[in-house]
């Protein structure tokens, strides 16, 4: 990503896609960890658009809870898709801060629409402990934060898949760091045709080789790459402040290497960091880790 460019931050304070509370406070904790100033120190101009409106759970009817907040999530994703599309239209870089991972349905739908207008394709790197390819038919919990990747590939609630008629191309989509996948989800993952690298693959090949391959897949025939980074991809020793921690995850250096290599491609067009949960954090450790990772994605190098 080139310097002197403008980054527009949009916060999405939603935990409606998860059954564990707290990810709605993620955007606030990143701002308190000095996100804007630290990005400016890297030579970018930064506009903080503030937070998207998300309804308070307790203000919603119980009927909406029973459908796992599908209607408010679809409304906020539709709004978010228009915002990310607009940021790209202005020639700026969207930085989406969540919020649970269901918000990616909105952000990435907007990105897909933008590239579709240019008659171009976009690649996706998705870092996560989970595969997020459950569908309403397979999800054991029904929580929408377990479904965003499937939804963007066209397999999900109709009201959510309708946000973008353009779908992700599986051959340009790579999932990294997975280690906790439901049985039915394993079948869907293989069916989708996306590229995936489990922690076992990272152990065997090393993060450098994994990222080289993933970047090649995401770059092939595309005009840009979006990164959707679920902080639970990192081992909870380093990032305890997430809603669904799974041990055996990425080390801090593996996570940085992933983003440093993505930055070096100069093909990153937008970024998203989700599932930061201050309720389960130790102090503000995970917020600071996330800000440091964002700086690596924006080109901060050790030397």
101 binds Mn ion (CB under 5 A): yes
8 binds Mn ion (CB under 5 A): no
Beta strands, E only, the chain: 6-12, 45-51, 93-98, 123-127, 173-178, 195-198, 225-230, 268-274
Whose Cβ is closer to Mn ion: residue 15's or residue 300's? 15
100 binds Mn ion (CB under 5 A): no
Q: Which span (70-78, 93-101, 162-170, 188-196) binds Mn ion, by CB under 5 A?
A: 93-101
d(CA 14, CA 134): 20
Residue 164: partners with Cβ closer than 8 Å, 6 or more residues away: 81, 108, 109, 110, 112, 113, 116, 152
Whose Cβ is closer to Mn ion: residue 8's or residue 230's? 230
78 binds Mn ion (CB under 5 A): no
Whose Cβ is closer to Mn ion: residue 156's or residue 299's? 156
d(CA 69, CA 144): 8
Q: How far is CA 68 from CA 4, 16, 132, 189, 211, in A?
A: 42, 8, 16, 23, 35
Q: How many CA atoms lie within 13 A of 277 on its CB side?
A: 23
Longest Cα–Cα distance of the chain, Å, equals 54
230 binds Mn ion (CB under 5 A): yes
> How far apart are CB 73 and Mn ion at their closest, in Å?
14
d(CA 233, CA 279): 18
Q: What is the total count of residues that contact Mn ion (CB under 5 A)? A: 4
Rg, Å, the chain Cα set = 17
132 binds Mn ion (CB under 5 A): yes
Binding mask 102-131 for Mn ion (x = CB under 5 A): --------------------------x---
Q: What angle do CA 66, 231, 101 make, to 5 degrees?
A: 30
Q: Which span (59-67, 70-78, 229-237, 257-265) binds Mn ion, by CB under 5 A?
A: 229-237
> How far apart are CB 108 and Mn ion at their closest, in Å?
12
> How far apart are CB 124 and Mn ion at their closest, in Å?
13
Active site residues: 101, 128, 130, 132, 145, 230, 232, 275
Whose Cβ is closer to Mn ion: residue 44's or residue 290's? 290
Q: Which span (134-142, 165-173, 226-234, 286-294) binds Mn ion, by CB under 5 A?
A: 226-234
Q: Which span (55-63, 94-102, 161-169, 254-262) binds Mn ion, by CB under 5 A?
A: 94-102
* Tokens standing for residue 130: 């989970």
Give the footprint of Mn ion on this chain (CB under 5 A).
101, 128, 132, 230
């Amino acid at each position: 990503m080139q310097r002197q460019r403008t980054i527009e931050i949009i916060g999405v304070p939603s935990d409606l896609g998860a059954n564990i509370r707290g990810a709605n406070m993620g955007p606030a904790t990143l701002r308190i960890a000095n996100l804007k100033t630290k990005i400016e120190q890297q030579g970018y101009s930064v506009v903080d658009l503030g937070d998207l409106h998300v309804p308070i759970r307790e203000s919603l009817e119980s009927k909406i809870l029973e459908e796992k907040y599908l209607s408010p999530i679809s409304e906020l994703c539709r709004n978010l898709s228009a915002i990310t599309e607009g940021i790209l239209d202005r020639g700026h870089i969207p930085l989406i801060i969540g919020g649970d991972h269901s918000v990616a349905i909105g952000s990435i739908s907007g990105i897909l629409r933008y590239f579709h207008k240019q008659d171009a394709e976009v690649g996706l790197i998705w870092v996560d402990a989970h595969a997020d390819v459950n569908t309403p038919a397979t999800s054991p919990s029904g929580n929408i934060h377990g479904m965003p990747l499937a939804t963007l590939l066209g397999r999900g609630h109709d009201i959510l898949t309708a946000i973008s008629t353009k779908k992700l191309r599986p051959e340009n989509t790579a999932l990294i760091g997975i280690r906790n996948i439901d049985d039915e989800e394993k079948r869907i993952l293989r069916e989708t045709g996306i590229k995936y690298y489990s922690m076992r693959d990272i152990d065997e090949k090393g993060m450098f080789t994994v990222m080289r391959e993933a970047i090649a897949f995401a770059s092939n025939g595309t005009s840009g790459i979006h990164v959707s980074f679920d902080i639970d991809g990192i081992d909870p020793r380093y990032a305890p402040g997430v809603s669904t921690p799974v041990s055996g995850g990425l080390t801090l250096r593996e996570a940085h290497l992933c983003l440093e290599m993505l930055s070096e491609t100069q093909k990153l067009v937008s970024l998203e960091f989700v599932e930061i949960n201050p309720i389960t954090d130790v102090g503000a450790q995970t917020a600071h880790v996330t800000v440091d990772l964002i700086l690596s994605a924006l080109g901060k190098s050790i030397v």
